[in-house]
């Protein structure tokens, strides 16, 4: 059985995107060598990358380019080689290599994927997917990199969640740039 993990940056006030999907605040500490090394090592973990339409379009728009290969060669190589699944009702096709488009029955498809053998699955971005799969009890671990910034407005990953979910802290790591990794598992 595969684990399903969420990995996202969040602001101190709990947003994973700013207004109009702004993510520039996640790069303010990008030059920190320790964080960059962690990101590269984390990217090597393997597994299926899961996206919604908006995150997919953003990711393919950067990670499949020569600029990404120049700026972050290890991460770009991993992301481009990894199997990817995009859940979207509006996309008609996907062009990124190793990418499968699923247009409906997301919850059923994720349940099926979790039963398969493999290195696990990671949701990047994709707040509406995180919220829906959290509501179905399908996420095994949440990994948040808390950035030392307050946005004031934005979007949370848990919009529309109908029930409280208690969590237990499983790991922390503080980086020299002020970012903090927090890992949680749902209390069942």
What's residue 177's pLDDT? Answer: 87
Domains annotated for the chain, with CATH where assigned, are 4-186 (3.40.430.10)
The string of pLDDT tens digits covering residues 109-125 is: 999 999 999 999 999 98
Task: Give pTM, 2 decimals.
Answer: 0.92
In what helix (H) or strand (E) does residue 54 lie, and over which residues does it extend?
Answer: helix 53-63
Lookup result for tokens 């919850």: 107
* Burial group, residue 114, by CB count within 10 angstroms (0-12, 13-18, 19+): middle
147 SS3 class: strand
């Amino acid at each position: 059985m595969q684990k399903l993990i969420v990995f996202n940056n969040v602001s101190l006030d709990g947003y994973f995107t700013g207004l109009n999907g702004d993510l520039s605040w996640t790069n303010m500490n990008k030059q920190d060598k320790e964080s960059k090394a962690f990101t590269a090592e984390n990217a090597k973990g393997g597994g299926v990358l899961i996206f919604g339409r908006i995150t997919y379009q953003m990711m393919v728009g950067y990670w499949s380019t020569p600029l990404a290969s120049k700026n972050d060669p290890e991460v770009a190589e991993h992301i481009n080689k990894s199997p990817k699944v995009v859940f979207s009702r509006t996309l008609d096709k996907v062009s990124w290599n190793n990418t499968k488009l699923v247009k409906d029955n997301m919850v059923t498809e994720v349940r099926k994927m979790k039963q398969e053998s493999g290195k696990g699955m990671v949701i990047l971005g994709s707040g509406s997917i995180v919220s829906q799969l959290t509501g179905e009890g399908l996420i095994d671990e949440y990994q948040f990199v808390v950035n030392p910034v307050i946005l004031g407005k934005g979007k949370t990953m848990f919009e529309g969640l109908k029930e409280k979910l208690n969590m237990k802290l499983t790991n922390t790591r503080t980086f020299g740039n002020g970012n903090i990794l927090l890992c949680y598992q749902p209390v069942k």
